[in-house]
């Protein structure tokens, strides 16, 4: 595997402002073939980084969304039961009319296999980006299965035997740290903590996604979001909320943040009533912080 010559530049062209550590970590994913664990608060761009990597590499993105109760087979494969039933009925009809049929084992051939994300990822002729999203939401058993897959890059299907990877995917795991992951999984991966962007980095992100935004407004939004994240909110705004807010202000033809503008558009950036009430008590300070950020 070889690294992209200028991954940071490729990301920038695709509208994603990647920090130096993130672009280096992603370079190592492509160069070393090692999985990368991206950990950090929700909304900092971990999932988007994997999507952008797939675009930069001009390859498929295959996503496994993790959730409580996810088991290995659900992430690997299942059998196409309607198609199997149809084949069985066709065989029975043929046997009745012609005196011949198909053996039951024919029902478990590759044509009846429905590939789920993990099997799909190792079945590609060109290495895809495999995103294992929010791995911290899955349980210990699924995590143990992942360790085996990442070590061997093959799976066993009782009816078909062992299937080995055609190519190794570029693997990105994300975690919001809802629970602690095992040391074994961490050792298997490269690691990077992804935090909220600083004011200047957030400004670059706004400019990148909204190139026609007024410079003063962009700076005010970036400074205001930085102020919001310092408050004791139940859910701090992520980068997506920053961009939603900035785009809404542009669409509404606002060129500056005022207390009234903030109150009218707060639903773009804060999604809990309690958080909005807290900001309502501090709206003057928020606007002041936005003005100082100009």
pLDDT, residue 162, reads 81
| 97 Cβ neighbours under 8 A, 6+ residues apart | none
Q: Which residues of 35-62 are buried (b: 16+ CB within 10 A; e: fewer)?
A: bbbbbbbebbbbbbbbbbbbbbbebebb
Q: Where is the domain boundary, 135, 162, 193?
A: 193
The Cα–Cα gap between 85 and 37 comes to 41
Inform me whether the pLDDT recorded for 77 exceeds 90: no
Residue 217 CB-density burial (10 A; 0-12 exposed, 13-18 middle, 19+ buried): buried
The more confidently predicted of residues 100 and 132 is 132
Q: Looking at 176, 193, 210, which one is the last position of a domain?
A: 193
Same domain, 55 and 89: no
Q: Structural domain of residue 12, as residue ranges?
A: 7-76+114-193
Tell which of 93, 111, 129 closes a domain. 111
Question: Do 27 and 94 fall into the same domain?
Answer: no
d(CA 16, CA 212): 16
Among 234, 207, 135, smallest CA distance to 176 is for 135
- The answer to whether residue 2 sits within a structural domain is no
Domains contained in the chain, number: 3
Same domain? For 103 and 141 the reply is: no
- Does 238 score more than 90 pLDDT? yes
pLDDT over threshold 90, residue 259: yes
pLDDT tops 90 at residue 54: yes
Distance in angstroms (rounded) separating the CA atoms of residues 64 and 130: 8
**Residue 185: its pLDDT value, please?**
93
Structure pTM?
0.84
Question: What's the mean per-residue pLDDT of the chain?
Answer: 88
5-14, 228-237, 283-292: which is most confident: 228-237
**Same-domain status, 86 and 121:** no
Q: Do 212 and 156 fall into the same domain? A: no
pLDDT at 4 over 70: no
Rounded Cα distance between 177 and 210, Å, is 31
The answer to whether residues 72 and 146 belong to one domain is yes
The 10s digit of each residue's pLDDT in 146-200 is: 988 888 888 877 777 788 888 999 999 999 998 999 999 999 999 999 999 988 8
DSSP sequence for 271-289:
--HHHHHHHHHTHHHHHHH
Determine the pLDDT at residue 102.
47
Work out the pLDDT band at 11, boundaries 50, 70, 90.
very high
In this structure, what DSSP letter does residue 203 have?
Answer: H
Specify whether 184 is located in the same domain as 212. no
Number of residues assigned to the chain: 294
Q: Cα separation of 248 and 246, whole Å?
A: 5
Give, for 76, the enclosing helix (H) or strand (E).
helix 72-76
> Is there a single domain that holds both residue 127 and residue 219?
no
Pair (140, 130) in one structural domain: yes
Give CA–CA dist 62/59, Å, rounded.
10
Q: Are residues 71 and 85 in the same domain?
A: no
- pLDDT-derived band at 8 (thresholds 50, 70, 90) equals confident
Tell whether 210 is covered by a domain.
yes
Is residue 1 in some structural domain?
A: no
Radius of gyration, CA atoms only, the chain? 24
**Are 218 and 265 found together in one domain?**
yes
- pLDDT (tens digit, 9 = 90+) per residue, 110-159? 777 788 999 999 999 999 999 999 999 999 999 989 988 888 888 877 77
Q: What is the CATH number of the domain that holds 172?
A: 3.40.50.300
């Amino acid at each position: 595997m070889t690294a992209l010559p200028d991954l940071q530049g490729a990301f920038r062209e695709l509208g994603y402002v990647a920090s130096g550590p993130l672009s280096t970590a992603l370079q190592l994913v492509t160069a070393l073939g090692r999985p990368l664990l991206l950990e950090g608060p929700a909304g900092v761009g971990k999932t988007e980084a994997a999507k952008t990597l797939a675009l930069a590499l001009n390859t498929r993105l295959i996503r496994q969304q993790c959730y409580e109760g996810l088991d290995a087979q659900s992430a690997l494969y299942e059998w196409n039961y309607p198609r199997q039933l149809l084949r069985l009925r066709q065989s029975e009809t043929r046997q009745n009319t012609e005196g011949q049929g198909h053996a039951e084992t024919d029902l478990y051939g590759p044509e009846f296999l429905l590939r789920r994300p993990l099997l799909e990822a190792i079945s590609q002729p060109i290495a895809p980006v495999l995103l294992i999203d929010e791995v911290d939401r899955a349980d210990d058993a699924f995590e143990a299965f992942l360790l085996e897959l990442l070590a061997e890059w093959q799976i066993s299907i009782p009816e078909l035997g062992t299937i080995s990877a055609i190519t190794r995917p570029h693997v990105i795991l994300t975690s919001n740290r809802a629970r602690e992951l095992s040391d074994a999984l961490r050792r298997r991966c490269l690691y990077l903590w992804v935090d909220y962007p600083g004011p200047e980095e957030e400004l670059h992100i706004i400019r990148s996604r909204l190139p026609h935004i007024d410079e003063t407004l962009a700076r005010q939004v970036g400074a205001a979001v930085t102020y919001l994240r310092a408050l004791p909110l139940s859910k701090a705004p992520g980068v997506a909320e920053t961009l939603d807010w900035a785009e809404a202000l542009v669409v509404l033809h606002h060129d500056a943040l005022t207390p009234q503008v903030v109150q009218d558009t707060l639903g773009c950036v804060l999604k809990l009533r309690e958080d909005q009430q807290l900001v309502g008590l501090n709206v003057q300070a928020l606007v002041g912080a936005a003005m100082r950020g100009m």
